[in-house]
Amino acid sequence: MKIFFIVLFITGMAFTSYADEGLSAAEPQHGYSTDDIILTSLGTWVVVGAKTPRGIDCSDSVSEIYITDYSTDMIAVFDYTGTLVDQIACPGEVPDVAGICQGPDFLLINDFGSDTDIYRYQSGTWTPDFTNPASAPTGMDMDATGAIWEIEASTNTLYRFDASGTLLNQWILSEPPASASAMACTIFPINGTNVVLIGGMTWSDFYFYEWDGTDLTFIGTHVTPQSSNKSYGAAWCSQRDTIFWVYKGGGTFYVCEFQCFITGVALERTTWGAIKAAI
């Protein structure tokens, strides 16, 4: 039996314009065995300084959280208590900024639909880095090997590609709902393996997958630890071994800290979700 212990933090964000995006139908999933997943909220703070928060990531070297603001086309920088410490204007070529992830000494952002490039922010300068393999990208993250993970809102397609944009893997996730836009995508290490968290704008649950370096395995789901009417980005914080989640409750955007325990059956092939490897 595998036992996972995860500590996660959640943050508040809002989307308004993704709701009308068409979604491809995912195949229904039948007969998988879901692990027991327990999420316990540890507290929240209100996001002040970002009008329409979307994507999120955490610095690996300083105590900073980066949240993209879709309507003002900028990145708001917060400390762990929710205090706004800086703002970074996005390039004019990216009018629909959505996802964000941090590299060793740079930031990467994507555009929900107006620009096909991923842009790099390094030493105070924005440059187009490479063509995005996703057509309607939202949440993104970078793992410890430097590979970038990204979810596509319109198809529930999960991409894994290297820092030059070369596609390494691609999966159409059949477990999440096909009726709402995928938003959150983060990967974090646990017990010698890696776990990918996927969330959606109107989904009531998070979806958890194991990545062992070769195969993507569906673990299970759990309802989000705070009630929300919109759910957005999520990001693992290596300094705190936590995850920050972007969500909206009523008319307010929040950050909520939560713990996650996952205990259950071994991840054998009989418990796999119907994940279709297209690449």
Query: By mean pLDDT, which of 24-33, 48-57, 202-211 is the weakest?
Result: 24-33
What is the average pLDDT across 187-191? 85
What average pLDDT does range 172-193 have in this prediction? Answer: 88
Fold exhibited by the domain 2-277: Lipocalin (2.40.128)
What was the pLDDT predicted at 271? 34
Percent with pLDDT over 70 in the chain: 81
Residue 32 has pLDDT above 80, yes or no: no
3 state SS of 234: strand
Residue 110 predicted with pLDDT over 70: yes
pLDDT 10s digits, 235-248: 999 998 888 999 99
- According to the model, what pLDDT value does residue 76 have? 96
Q: What mean pLDDT do residues 268-279 have?
A: 35
Q: What is the pTM of this model?
A: 0.83
**What is the mean predicted confidence (pLDDT) over 68-97?**
95
Residue 258 has what pLDDT?
78
* DSSP codes of every residue in the chain: -EEEEEEEEEE----SSSTT---PPPPPP-SPPPPEEEEEEEEEEE--S-SSEEEEEE-SSSS-EEEEETTTTEEEEE-TTS-EEEEEEPPTT-TTEEEEEE-SS-EEEEESSS--EEEEEETTEEEEEEE-S-SSEEEEEE-TTS-EEEEETTTTEEEEE-TT--EEEEEE--SS-SSS-EEEEEEEEETTEEEEEEEETT-SEEEEEEE-SS-EEEEEEEE-SS--SEEEEEEEETTTTEEEEEEEETTEEEEEEEEEEEEES---GGG----EE--
